[in-house]
Chains A and B, each alone.
Chain A
Amino acid sequence: MKKAVTAAAVVLAAVLAALLIYDGVINNEATADFFAMNTYASVKIKGADSEECAALAEEITQNLDTDTLSRTAENSAVSLLNKNGGGALGEKMQGYVSALLDVCEKSGGAFDFTLGALSDLWNFGGTPSIPDKAALADALLHSGYEKLTLSENTLDYTDKAAVIDFGAAGKGIALDEIREAFAEKRVKEAVVSVGGSVLLMGEKQFTVGIRNPSGNAGSYIAKLHIPAGCVSTSGSYEQQFEENGEKYHHILNPETGYPASSGLLSVTIISDSGILSDALSTACFVLGHEKGAVLAKEYGCTAIFITENNEVFVENGSKDIIEITDGAYTLI
């Protein structure tokens, strides 16, 4: 009798111990950071496969860039399309292109991923400067999503000089690809940032800071309390340069070819989709607060607009998700 009780107690203790250790395993944390897509990326993962997934995230992002989206890698899918004025698209590429064409149309051209020639003139990735007016007019002439036709898996450029560029959506696409890969692994929670576009995976309520548009990189003016999803911000503070006393930022208005000025400092989009959060943040920045809010609603996304008057608006979502942490900004 006594022995049986002792044995039972030992077994119970062993089971508890095993549970504790199992908990340690499923909550195993891994972090990594890397440079890809000309930007900085960081990964925080909790789960049994966390270490494997940290490496996987880097591999996916690098491969997506060099094999598919990069305009500098000679044999990437995008480089070949631009060189040949179109071509057959792989299944994934077809998905990206049709999603982006939809944003182009619904935004009335405020978002446009055919501005490659224009971006090259401004050269925001390198040493930016104001382009020559004639060159800018010429680049604009050969830009515009309406110069692309997609029928099934074939993309055709009606103007062969058009240059597609995934700069405003590539980070979001990376997040979607990473999420798809993580879904196959034992991942309990993941926070992935590719150049400031963020993927949140897991059951918990996450806290995401919105960058201070006029302060240091890394500092934030508000916290978002949101469940799993994707968050992207477009702001005039990124890749800014000054010439003749005027400031120029990298979000170009496809209509004018110059940096968009719509009274906003930044737009943040919350969406289930990485590609949409990324593309819509750019579209809404160009459109401005009122028209941007309509577009975000059309896609069922929550949008946070920060105006040049330091006013913060939450559109198509509850104000309860946001907590302003910087007294210089006011939630309207």
Chain B
Amino acid sequence: MKIIRKGDIALIAVILLAAACFVLWSNSKSEAPQAVITVDGEVVETVDLQSVGEKRIIEPVSGVTIVAENGEIRFEKADCEDKLCIASGSLSRHGDTAVCLPAKTAITVTGSDVDAVVY
């Protein structure tokens, strides 16, 4: 006499599989570096840096120009006085961040080998 039938095993497997899928889905994160551009906290554009080859120009807000090119992203132009965002240079590494305070615009490369950078 079989204690558990095939059908039972299938049922148990389905329940476990569904749970595992749910967890994987809820924890899913892309490993490839993504540059997330936010304006005042709202995500306006996400750029997959690995797939960026040719020059791509993004204007998240009037007066600010961001350029993504060859796996890197940078502030190209900004109408502010200090140009600190442009001075931040090109971002490509996990955790890299550049911010334009006057325009409330930020670029963050997601996924990081550090939890935060103190400055």
Contact = CB atoms under 8 A, between A and B. Distances in A.
Contact of B8 (A10, A14, A32, A33): A10
B71 to A, nearest CB: 16
A313 interface: no
Contact of B87 (A33, A40, A217): A217
Given A13-B16, A218-B97, A220-B114, 12 more contacts: A13-B11, A24-B22, A33-B108, A40-B106, A191-B116, A197-B118, A208-B115, A208-B116, A211-B119, A218-B91, A223-B114, A268-B118
Contacts, number: 136
Give me the 10 closest cross-chain CB pairs, A-B, nearest first.
A196-B119, A17-B19, A211-B119, A209-B117, A20-B19, A13-B12, A209-B114, A34-B41, A218-B97, A24-B26
- Most chain A CB within a 10 A radius of its CB, from B20, B97, B101: B97
A209 B15 contact: no
A197 to B, nearest CB: 7
A164 B113 CA distance: 39
A144 interface: no
A198 B19 contact: no
A151 interface: no
Contact of B23 (A1, A21, A196, A210): A21
Interface string A12-45: 1110111011011001110011110011101010
A271 to B, nearest CB: 12
A193 B98 CA distance: 14
Interface residues of A, number: 55
20 contacts: A10-B12, A12-B12, A13-B11, A17-B15, A20-B20, A28-B26, A35-B40, A35-B41, A40-B106, A198-B116, A207-B114, A208-B118, A209-B117, A211-B118, A217-B97, A218-B88, A218-B96, A220-B114, A231-B116, A268-B118
Contacts of A211: 117-119
A12 B40 CA distance: 47
Interface of B: 1-5, 8, 11-12, 15-16, 18-20, 22-23, 26-27, 38, 40-41, 81, 84, 87-89, 91, 93, 95-99, 101, 104, 106, 108, 113-119
A216 interface: yes
A17 B22 CA distance: 10
A218 B95 contact: yes
Contact of B27 (A14, A27, A33, A224): A27
B96 A219 contact: yes
Contacts of B106: 33, 40
Nearest to B20: A20
- Most chain A CB within a 10 A radius of its CB, from B3, B23, B117: B117
A42 B101 contact: no
A210 B18 CA distance: 42
A233 B119 contact: yes
A23 B96 CA distance: 30
A198 B81 contact: no
A200 interface: yes
A263 to B, nearest CB: 20
Nearest to B91: A218
